[in-house]
Chains A and B, each alone.
Chain A
Amino acid sequence: MEKIPILRMGDFLLVTIQIDMHDQLALKLQDDLSNAIQQHASKGVLIDISTLEMVDSFIGRMVADISGMGRILGAQTILVGMQPAVAITLVELGLSLPGVATALNVERGMEILRRKIAADGTDERPG
């Protein structure tokens, strides 16, 4: 069966979406990711979409679902490498992807995640 590889990079997980997603594959990825987040106690997930020539509401929903699921499991999601033409189109389509941060590339994404995690650490309240 088709499968999207999940790469572990220290505290983070990296998923590169290269192929055309369909329902089944999106569900499988969410499943695999939630397992991986729990297994490695990952603090962040980077979704690399630099090879995608289009993001529609289907992929948008997948990203939003992954991000929501990650949040529940204590990991932040960051979308990296979105092509400019895709970003422009996404705005007009009306997808705001609330709660999903974006970064230029994987390195920047990791920086942002590290900073967010450090900030959250000092923010933590008891109870």
Chain B
Amino acid sequence: MNAPVNGESPLKSEHDIVLARQLVRKLTQELGFSLVDQTKMVTAASELARNAFTYGRGGSMHWEKTNGGDRRGLKLVFVDEGPGIPNLELAMTDGWTSGHGLGMGLTGAKRLVNEFAIDTKVGVGTRVTIVRWK
């Protein structure tokens, strides 16, 4: 049987964040990412997983091994049904936090990947999609 090319992992506890990180490490290794690229994707995933857990009241991480032309990559989607982000421009500013963070999670994660998109709606939730190519 072939290894699955997509899946889902819950983000309902701190421990789930650890498991999500381990899963992303494994997937990037399977895709043949360099150690630095693995670390970048794992770190971005850690930031977004923690946001979904901390601000989004928990959610899930969807993953997919994807092809773009002749490149292979990993796509991750972090979904929560939390309060949403009222001011996305502000949230996407280096150093801005509504809590006690460093305010580097979203902007930092964006810098660590090749593609980054946020879809958020107040009262509905937040969905962050990232892709990193090999």
Contacts and interface: CB of A to CB of B under 8 A. Distances in A.
Interface stretch (B4-12, B35-43, B121-129): B35-43
Interface string A45-69: 0000000011111101100100000
A55 B105 CA distance: 12
A118 interface: no
Contact of A60 (B14, B39, B104, B111): B104
Chain B binding site: helix, strand, loop or mixed by DSSP?
helix
A93 B14 contact: no
Contacts of B60: none
B39 A56 contact: no
Contacts of B21: 20, 54
B107 A94 contact: yes
A60 B102 contact: yes
A56 B42 CA distance: 9
A89 B108 CA distance: 10
Given A20-B18, A85-B36, A94-B94, A55 B43 contact: yes
Contacts of B35: 85
B102 A57 contact: yes
Given A54-B42, A54-B46, A56-B47, A93 B36 contact: no
B25 A93 contact: no
B75 interface: no
A58 B50 contact: yes
Contact of A57 (B18, B25, B42, B47): B47
Nearest to B108: A93
Interface string A72-114: 0000000000001110110011110000000000000000000
A38 B46 CA distance: 34
Given A54-B46, A56-B47, A88 B36 contact: yes
A96 B21 CA distance: 23
28 contacts: A23-B14, A53-B39, A53-B42, A54-B21, A54-B42, A54-B43, A54-B46, A55-B43, A57-B101, A57-B104, A57-B108, A58-B46, A58-B101, A64-B102, A85-B38, A85-B39, A88-B36, A89-B39, A89-B112, A92-B40, A92-B108, A92-B111, A93-B109, A93-B111, A94-B107, A94-B108, A94-B111, A95-B108
A-B pairs, top 5 by smallest CB distance, nearest first, are A93-B108, A22-B14, A56-B46, A85-B39, A20-B18
